[in-house]
């Protein structure tokens, strides 16, 4: 359980002096070798405890037994076709550990995570697959020899006997020097960088800092797509003798999983330009996947000598064994220079590991300092999905599709990493240096971004073929506009509608790569981007969850955010009539209904086979369409992109019209249908619900505002009227004097306090629109949530539980009502900040830090799950929704929206006045649009858009 240590009341949550000697910090304070004051920290000897997975109660099991049987059958059927089901609760391979760290690489080209103890794990090179177990041959090691040879040290730079070491023979990894205790070594994480400081380990007179740098650079759509990372070692000799220091990087020709020992893998040494030299490891993948080439390299300078060993094995029959390789380094501190000339190795045999090693050696004078840089890259130019389609990854736009692109990637990483760091610091420093922000918030804000790399992201450059959907051109209008003659870019008479014809294709689209030298994109050409709901829930761009996570993309990569919205807007107007069996009730329906926002973009054939989720029929969900409208409006208002607004507005209108079927009593307010028809897909809702109803009210207001800003006065007036009527019905049915009831039904949890009841209000505030309700009601709801859902759970140190009875007991009507969801808690905190309740907002969000990230917590750092229970049992590690912490940052630094919108209060009053007068006020017809700023501007941080 979480201890009583509350970081919120400490001025400085994680002072580095508690982890590193101040003198060591001062010694390493050159060339960015010292870790920052604000970072997530761990001692390397910290025990990596096994995390506790969730379990359902007996009562829940009885309710879900039929679903479980159907799900089991579906999982087996998918496995018979060689595919993994998007949700498979029966596959619990391996034991998840609290040992994660900052992932390597940019976005969308595959990722590898390096745990805080030094192991490389979580290989996600192939789409939808995550090889969690560490590849133990992948290590950094150090060899130190003092002048005169009287003092020698050799150790792997990872402490203790890791899992898997004891299984190797004496010729293998167990023969290496696993001598590091980790007691005086610390890990410091501030995504996308990490520092590992060895304070006198293994040599008491040598201070070593390893700095890991990846090209995650907001608003830089080129470098942020690159699959590479740099490791810069800073060496400080505090002894009286000169020291020869050799650093060693060993790497297995493996991506984990079935192809690890499948054979036919080839290693090839290379000498590149600018002193960059190393080994290429050409990996032949299994199951028809495209090959992968790794490059491991170091940079030779006047003071640093680089040598390589192209191949060694882990068993006795190898030409060079791991033991012989280690002995050579321990004796000489380097390999033979002639190894660069041996050419490609013979393809490995099945069952044999094929590893490579790169050494960089240097002399460090007494009281001297030195820097040594390594880099790792991987080139997997084509991404292939299980149902056959292949696409070129984004980075091939600049590096082409050759297997040797990995060599160019490591070269550019080693020659550009200082520029990357400058961009990272320019981005992060305004937040890190803001004394008004809690320390825990600063580094948790950045570290939660790990998911955009390690969450299974794919970024392609290949244009998408037309979708395999049935379409109806009568509802597929394209809204265009002409700004000529109108200085504000809008003319009420300038809109026209055009039909677009689309062809269907199910064949693989093999396209030639674009110009590798292309450095600049057109304004909207950023390819297509996918990210998983989670590594356990393998559905791409799950939209009900993207609602929470999208603040990160909008703030940092707004062009990607707009591209995702365009894809969903296009999907709204299409229909896929292929039959699907829904597991919750066993009934069949069509895969994608016209007018409904898809739940996700698919699993094994994204963009072409949407709605991989098949537990419920999501065409009947009540939150997806309003969430689409709210996200589109927020993005439209924040970026001021008129072409985007015009392009997606038909889909907004179609999505809103589709929802009218759920207003069965004609009060302009939608009703739920007595099953879990929203993102809480195990939590049943009856009648009007606080969550979906609030989202609907906000969507009515956003549609009216967007229509007014695009010059569609009739649509704007219509939705304004609906909003006023729906709001009155919502408050009459749900307001109980202090908060909105969970729903308007009569079940045992209808009066529960739902943490997420003001999700629509959150988006109103974030979009620059007025409040949905009067300020007193909003603050009353938020205070109730803070007092009950936060304060009565774990002493207020666990986040906000989803459901709480008004008697102060947790709502245990289902597993989701009794869970704390990290992303929802961040969203609630953001809503509090918007409402002027910053103290409560930070205290609420700090529970996620304390329970999930702190040393006293459950161990979820860099794998934040969807949620956890009171006793620390998690569900769905490495999950998308916690990116919602960027909704807090959005609230703290409100963007001056580019598009002016009428406030809700004014709309309410004017509509009531117009009803009394029998006519519409002229001021409502969109005159405020004339104040629109024509040119959009960037969001939170400076950029080069």
* pLDDT (mean) for 45-49: 86
What values do phi and psi take at 925, rounded to 5? -85, 10
CB 269, CB 255: distance < 8 Å: no
Query: Which pLDDT value is given to residue 452?
Result: 98
Q: What is the pLDDT of residues 92-137, one digit of tens each?
A: 776 788 999 999 999 999 999 999 999 999 999 988 888 888 999 9
Query: Which pLDDT value is given to residue 171?
Result: 82
pLDDT band at 517 (very low <50, low <70, confident <90, very high): very low
Q: What is the pLDDT of residues 322-341, one digit of tens each?
A: 999 999 999 999 999 999 99
Q: Residue 225 has what DSSP assignment?
A: G
Lowest mean pLDDT among 367-381, 456-470, 557-571, 841-855: 456-470
pLDDT band at 466 (very low <50, low <70, confident <90, very high): low
Helix (H) or strand (E) holding 16: none
Measured distance CA(542)–CA(111) in Å, rounded: 20
Query: Which pLDDT value is given to residue 234?
Result: 96
What values do phi and psi take at 754, rounded to 5? -90, 130
Query: Which pLDDT value is given to residue 162?
Result: 53
pLDDT band at 658 (very low <50, low <70, confident <90, very high): very high
Helix (H) or strand (E) holding 562: helix 558-572
Q: Which residues are 359's β-sheet partners?
A: 248, 307
* pLDDT (mean) for 672-690: 97
**Three-class secondary structure of residue 853 per DSSP:** helix
- If we measure between CA atoms, which residue out of 861, 831, 712 comes closest to residue 117? 861
Is the bond leading into 280 cis (omega within 30 degrees of zero)?
no
Checking if the pLDDT of 179 tops 80, the result is: yes
- If we measure between CA atoms, which residue out of 599, 699, 697 comes closest to residue 656? 699
- The single residue listed with the structure tokens 């790569």 is 513
Strand pairing class (276-283; 820-821): unpaired
CB 143, CB 154: distance < 8 Å: yes
Q: Which residues contact 41 (CB under 8 A, 6 or more apart)?
A: 14, 16, 19, 35, 186, 187, 188, 189
């Amino acid at each position: 359980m979480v201890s009583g240590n509350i970081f919120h009341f400490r001025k400085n949550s994680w002072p580095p002096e508690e982890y590193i000697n101040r003198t060591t910090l001062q010694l390493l304070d050159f060339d960015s070798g010292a870790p920052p004051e604000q970072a997530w920290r761990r001692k390397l000897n910290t025990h990596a405890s096994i995390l506790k997975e969730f379990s359902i109660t007996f009562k829940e099991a009885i309710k879900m037994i039929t679903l479980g049987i159907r799900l089991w059958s579906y999982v087996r059927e998918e496995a018979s076709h060689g595919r993994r089901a998007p949700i498979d609760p029966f596959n619990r391979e391996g034991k998840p550990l609290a040992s994660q760290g900052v992932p390597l690489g940019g976005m969308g080209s595959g990722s590898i995570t390096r745990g805080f103890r030094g192991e490389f794990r979580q290989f996600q090179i192939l789409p939808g697959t995550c090889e969690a177990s560490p590849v133990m041959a992948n290590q950094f090691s150090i060899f130190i020899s003092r002048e005169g040879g009287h003092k020698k040290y050799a150790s792997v730079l990872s402490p203790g006997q890791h899992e898997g070491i004891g299984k190797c023979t004496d010729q293998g990894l167990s023969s290496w020097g696993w001598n590091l205790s980790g007691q005086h070594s610390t890990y410091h994480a501030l995504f996308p960088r990490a520092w590992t400081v060895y304070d006198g380990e293994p040599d008491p007179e040598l201070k070593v800092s390893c700095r890991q740098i990846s090209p995650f650079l907001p608003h830089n759509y080129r470098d942020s797509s690159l699959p590479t990372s740099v490791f810069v070692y800073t060496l400080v000799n505090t002894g009286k003798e000169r020291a020869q220091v050799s650093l060693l990087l060993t790497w297995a020709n493996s991506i984990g999983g079935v192809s690890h020992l499948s054979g036919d893998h080839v290693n090839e040494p290379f000498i590149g330009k600018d002193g960059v030299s190393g080994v290429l490891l050409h990996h032949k993948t299994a199951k028809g996947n495209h090959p992968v080439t790794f490059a491991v390299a170091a940079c030779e300078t006047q003071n640093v000598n680089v040598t390589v060993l192209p191949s060694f094995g882990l068993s006795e029959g190898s030409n060079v064994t791991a033991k012989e390789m280690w002995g050579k380094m321990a004796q000489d501190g380097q390999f033979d220079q002639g190894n660069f000339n041996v050419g490609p190795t013979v393809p490995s045999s099945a069952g044999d590991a094929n590893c490579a090693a790169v050494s960089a050696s240097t002399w460090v004078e007494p009281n001297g300092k030195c820097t040594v840089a390594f880099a790792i890259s991987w080139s997997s130019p084509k991404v292939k999905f299980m149902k056959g389609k292949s696409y070129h990854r984004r980075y091939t736009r600049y590096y082409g599709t050759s297997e040797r692109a990995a060599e160019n990637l490591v070269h550019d990483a080693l020659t550009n990493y200082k520029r990357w760091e400058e961009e990272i610091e320019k981005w992060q420093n305004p937040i890190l240096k803001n004394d008004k922000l809690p320390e825990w918030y600063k580094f948790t804000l950045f570290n939660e971004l790990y998911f955009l790399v390690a969450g299974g992201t794919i970024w392609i450059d290949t244009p998408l073929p037309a979708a395999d959907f049935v379409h109806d051109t009568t509802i597929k209008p394209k809204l265009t506009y002409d700004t000529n003659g109108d200085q504000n870019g809008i003319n009420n008479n300038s809109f026209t509608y055009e039909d677009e014809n689309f062809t269907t294709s199910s064949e693989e689209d093999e396209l030639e790569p674009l110009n590798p030298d292309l450095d600049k994109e057109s304004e909207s050409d950023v390819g297509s981007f996918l990210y998983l709901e989670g590594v356990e829930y393998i559905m791409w761009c799950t939209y009900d969850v993207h609602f929470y996570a999208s603040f990160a993309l909008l703030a940092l990569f707004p062009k990607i955010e707009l591209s995702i919205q365009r894809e969903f807007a296009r999907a709204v107007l299409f229909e896929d009539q292929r039959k699907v069996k829904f597991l919750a009730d066993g009934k069949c329906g069509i895969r994608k209904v016209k007018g409904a926002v898809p739940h996700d973009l698919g699993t094994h054939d994204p963009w072409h086979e949407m709605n991989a989720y098949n537990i419920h029929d999501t065409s009947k969900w009540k939150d997806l369409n309003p969430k689409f409208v709210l996200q589109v409006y927020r993005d439209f208002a924040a970026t001021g992109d008129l072409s985007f607004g015009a392009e997606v507005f038909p889909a907004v209108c179609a999505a809103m019209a589709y929802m009218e079927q759920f207003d069965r009593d004609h009060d302009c307010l939608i009703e739920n249908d007595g099953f879990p028809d929203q993102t809480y897909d195990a939590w049943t809702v009856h009648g009007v619900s606080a969550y979906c109803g609030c989202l609907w009210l906000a969507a009515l207001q956003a549609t009216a505002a967007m229509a007014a800003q695009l010059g569609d006065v009739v649509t704007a007036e219509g939705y304004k009227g609906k909003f006023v009527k729906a709001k009155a019905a919502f408050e009459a049915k749900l307001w109980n004097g202090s908060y909105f009831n969970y729903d308007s039904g009569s079940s045992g949890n209808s009066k529960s306090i739902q943490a997420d009841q003001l999700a629509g209000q959150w988006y109103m505030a974030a979009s620059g629109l007025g409040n949905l309700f009067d300020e007193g009601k909003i603050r009353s709801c938020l205070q109730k949530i803070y007092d009950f859902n936060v304060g009565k759970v774990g002493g207020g140190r666990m986040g906000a539980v989803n459901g709480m009875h008004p008697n102060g007991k947790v709502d245990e009507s289902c597993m989701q009502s009794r869970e704390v969801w990290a992303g929802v808690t961040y969203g609630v905190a953001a809503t509090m900040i918007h409402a002027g309740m910053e103290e409560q907002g930070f205290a609420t969000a700090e529970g996620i830090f304390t329970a999930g990230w702190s040393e006293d917590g459950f161990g979820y750092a860099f794998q934040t799950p969807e949620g956890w229970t009171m006793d620390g049992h998690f569900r769905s590690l490495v999950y998308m929704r916690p990116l919602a912490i960027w909704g807090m940052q959005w609230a703290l630094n409100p963007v001056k929206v580019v598009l002016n919108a009428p406030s809700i209060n004014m709309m309410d009053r004017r509509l009531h006045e117009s009803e009394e007068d029998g006519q519409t006020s002229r001021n409502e017809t969109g005159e405020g649009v004339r104040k629109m700023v024509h040119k959009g501007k960037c969001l939170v941080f400076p950029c080069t858009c």
